[in-house]
C-alpha cells in the first residue's frame, strides 16, 4: 500500500430513496452495547461544492438482515441524542461543532 492510499479518506457511497448516489467520508465508527454506528460527512470531488456544504454530521445505525448489512437512520430521538453526544465528544479535537438541532461541523 502506498502512502497516498494509506492516508486517503475512507469513502462510502449511499443511495437515497430516489435512487441518487451520494458519497460520504467515514470519520468515525462506534460500538455501543450491541449496536454499531457510523459518523459520516459529505464528500465532494469539486472543491467549490465542498465550500458550499453545511458540514452536517450524518449518523447512521448499522443493521443486519441475514448476512447483509444496511445503514439506516436512528429513529429513536433519545438513542440519537446519546450517540450524537458520544461522537461529538470523540471528534471535538478534530472538528468544530456548531449548535442547532442537527449538528454541523
**Strands 58-65 and 68-73: what pairing?**
antiparallel
Cell of 42: 459529505
Res 52: pLDDT:
60
Q: Spell out the per-residue pLDDT of the chain, length 105, in tens.
A: 555 556 667 888 888 889 998 899 999 999 999 999 999 988 876 666 655 656 688 999 999 899 998 899 999 999 999 999 999 999 888 777 665 544 444
Degrees, nearest 5: CA angle 80-53-14: 60
Cα 4 from Cα 33, distance rounded (Å): 35
Cell of 7: 492516508
- The pTM is what? 0.74
Cα 83 from Cα 10, distance rounded (Å): 21
Amino acid at each position: 500500500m502506498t502512502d497516498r492510499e494509506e492516508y486517503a479518506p475512507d469513502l462510502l457511497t449511499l443511495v437515497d430513496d430516489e435512487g441518487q448516489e451520494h458519497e460520504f467520508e467515514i470519520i468515525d465508527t462506534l460500538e455501543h452495547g450491541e449496536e454499531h454506528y457510523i459518523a459520516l460527512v459529505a464528500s465532494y470531488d469539486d472543491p467549490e461544492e465542498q465550500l458550499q456544504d453545511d458540514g452536517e454530521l450524518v449518523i447512521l445505525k448499522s443493521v443486519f438482515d441475514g448476512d447483509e448489512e444496511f445503514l439506516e437512520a436512528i429513529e429513536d430521538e433519545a438513542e440519537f441524542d446519546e450517540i450524537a453526544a458520544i461522537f461529538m465528544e470523540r471528534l471535538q479535537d478534530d472538528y468544530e461543532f456548531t449548535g442547532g438541532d442537527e449538528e454541523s461541523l
